[in-house]
Amino acid sequence: MPKCPKCGAEVAKSIKTWTLAPKGRKGVEIGLFKCPNGHYFRAKVA
């Protein structure tokens, strides 16, 4: 589970996900998360 970089809280579910891929390469899934303290952050979704 991704952790908030500001407060360290673990967040289970992402708000939004998308694929980040440079041309000609395999992409990675990125998610937008919101921690219980109100901070937004992005992290790789496994």
- The number of folded domains in the chain is 1
Determine what percent of the chain falls in helix, strand and coil, rounding each to the nearest 5. 0, 40, 60
pLDDT digits (tens, 9 = 90+) for 17-43: 999 999 999 999 999 999 999 999 999
Q: Is the per-residue pLDDT at 14 higher than 90?
A: yes
Compute the distance between CA of residue 31 and CA of residue 13 in angstroms, rounded to an integer: 9
The widest CA-to-CA distance across the chain, in whole angstroms, is: 38
Helix and strand element counts for the chain (H, E): 0, 3
pLDDT for the residue 36: 94
- Structural domain harbouring 44: 1-46
pLDDT for the residue 37: 94
Q: The CATH number of the domain where 3 resides is what? A: 2.30.30.610
pTM of the model: 0.83
